[in-house]
Structure 1
Amino acid sequence: MKRTFPLQFYKYQGTGNDFIMLDNRQQFFPKQNTKLVAKLCDRKFGVGADGLILLENDNMSDFKMVYYNSDGNESTMCGNGGRCLVAFAKAIGIISNEATFNAIDGIHHAKIIDGIVGLSMNDVDNIIEKRNHFYLNTGSPHHVQMVEEVAKLDVQKDGAKLRYGLYGEKGSNINFVQQTAENAFRVRTYERGVEDETLSCGTGVTAVALAMHFSKRTTTNNIIIATEGGELKVSFDLVGDGYTNVELTGPADLVFKGEIEW
C-alpha cells in the first residue's frame, strides 16, 4: 500500500561514509520492510546512501541506534554511522555536546565539538593473526590485510573474493592497508551489505589501528588513518592482552535534508 505522506529524512556523511537519518521516536517506520530500506538507499531511485539509521527512544540511554546496510538488512555496529547519529541527535535537540546511546553491540559514549565526534568503541581482547592477515571484531567483523600499493587495488573485485571466498555467505568486511608513517596508515575497505568499496568505514578503521599495534607495526596508541573520504583518528589503551578505552574520532556533517515519497 502506497504511503500518502512524505518521509522526512536527513542525509549525513562521515569521511564520505553516508547515511540516511530518520527520527523514529514515534515508531512510524516499517522496520521489517527491507525493500523500502534498500530503495531509500539506492543512488538512482532513492536518496542514496551506504546505510539507513533510525534514532529511537531508549530506557537506558539518550537514544537507540538501529542500523541497516544499503541492501536493506539490519546489520552490526557502524562506527561512522554512530558518529553521524550523534551529530543528528545534537541537531534535533536531543543532546548537547555529550551522548550515551544504545546500539546492537551495547552502550556507546560520545562527545561532539565543532562537528568533530569522538565515539567510544567496544573493548577488543581477541585478534587472530593468520599468515597474511588479521581478523577481529570491533562491533563488526573485519579482515585486515597489508598491501604495498593500496591505491592500485581493485577493491571491489579483491574484496568480494575474500568476503565470499574466505568467509562465506555471512562474510566479513575486508580492509586493505598500507603504512605511510610510524603512526599513520592508508586504508581502503570493502563493506559487506554494501557489497562494494565505501569511502570510509569506522569499525574498519578501528580494526586496522588495533591490528597494526598488535603486530608491532606501530608502538603509538594514537593512530591516524587516511581513508578515501578523509582522515580519522583512533586512540586506545593496552591492558594486558586486550585493548580498552578505544575511541574513534572524526568529522560528521549534515549534507542535506528533504522529503521523499515512500
Structure 2
Amino acid sequence: MNLTFYKYQGTGNDFVVLDNRNQDLELSREQVAFLCDRRKGVGADGLMLLQPKEGFDFEMVYYNADGRPSSMCGNGGRCLVAFAQFLGVVEDQAYFLAADGPHQAYLKDGLVHLQMRDVDTIEDLEDACFLNTGSPHYVKQVPALKELDVYAEGRAVRYSDRFKAEGTNVNFVEHQPENKLFVRTYERGVEDETFSCGTGVTAAALAASRAGYTSPVQIEVLGGELQVSFEQEDGQFKNVFLIGPAVQVFHGEINL
C-alpha cells in the first residue's frame, strides 16, 4: 500500500507521524521498524498515529524505532499537538490521551507547552536516581558531559540486572550556572543516544530541583533548547510542563 507520512522533529528528536483519523491503519512491528529505519525507510526515533478518541481531541499512539509499542514520549507529544493543529483538529489548545493517561497542551509563540504527568516519588540509587515521568528514567549527574561515551555508559545501565527486563532510559546531566542543565540521553527502544528526550529532560529537571534548581529550568540538549516548569510541594511535583519547538520537516509517500 502507498502510505502518506509526515516527518516532525522536536529539538532533533524525530518522528514519522501518520493521520489515522479514519482508523484504517494497522501496521505490523516490522512495518513500523522499516519506516523508522534510517537507511531503508524514512528514518526516525519513533512513529506516532493520531487517531480519534471519545472525550478527547485525539489519541496519541506511539511506537519505538524497533517497532514495539512504547510509553509516553514528551517530544513526540509536542510534535503530535503541532500536527493536530496542522490538520485543523485543534487550534491553540489540545486535550489528548497517551499511553500514560490524559494530557493538556497549548501552542504559544511557536512553542508547544505540554503538561506532563505528576511525579510523586524520586528513588535514590547508589550514585543516581530513578523516576517515572511517563517513561522510566535513570538520571545521573556527571562532569565533562561532552566527552562522555553516552552510548556505552547508557547501554551498560539499560542492560544491567535492575533494568534489562523492562528497560529504562538513561540520562546524564551536567549542572551549569544560571539554572541551566546540559542533558544527553540513551533511549531504550532506539537503543542509542538521541538528540533529545522530552521525558528525559523532564526527569533531569525534577531531579535537579533537589540540588536547588527552580522552575523553569533551562535545558540544553544536542538538538537545541527546552524548558521544564513545575510546582513542587513536599517532594511531589505537579503542573509539570515540557516546553519547546515542534517542526514539520517534510511529508511524502512510501510503499509498504
Assess same fold via TM > 0.5: yes
Whether the 8 Å contact between 1:183 and 1:224 is mirrored in structure 2 is yes
Tell me the CA shift for residue 75 of structure 1.
Answer: 0.1
Deviation digits for residues 46-72 of structure 1 (CA, Å, limit 9, x no counterpart): 100000000000102100000000000
- With normalisation by structure 1, the TM-score equals 0.95
- Residue number in structure 2 paired with 1:261: 255
Letter paired with 2:68: N
1:230 alignment partner, one of 219, 224, 231 = 224
Deviates more, 1:247-256 or 1:111-120: 111-120
Superposition pairs of residues 1-262 of structure 1, within 5 angstroms: 3=1, 6-31=2-27, 33-165=28-160, 166-213=162-209, 215=210, 217-262=211-256
Please report how far the alpha carbon of residue 221 of structure 1 lies from its aligned counterpart in structure 2 after TM superposition.
1.7
Instruction: Give the Cα–Cα distance (whole angstroms) in 1 for the partners of residues 108 and 246 of structure 2.
Output: 10
* Identical columns (%): 54
Could you give the per-residue CA deviations for residues 81-108 of structure 1, whole angstroms, max 9, x where no partner exists?
Answer: 0000000000011011000000011110
Number of paired residues?
A: 255
What letter is aligned with 1:16? G
Structure 2 spans left out of the alignment, 5+ residues: none
Partners of 2:212 and 2:4 lie apart in 1 by 45
CA contact (8 A) 1:142 1:207 kept: yes
What runs of 5+ residues in structure 1 fail to find an aligned partner?
none
Listed one character per residue, the Cα deviations across residues 232-255 of structure 1 (whole Å, up to 9, x for unaligned) are 000000122200000000000000
Letter paired with 1:250: G
1: CA distance, partners of 2:55 / 2:204: 30
Alpha-carbon distance, 1:30 to partner: 1.3
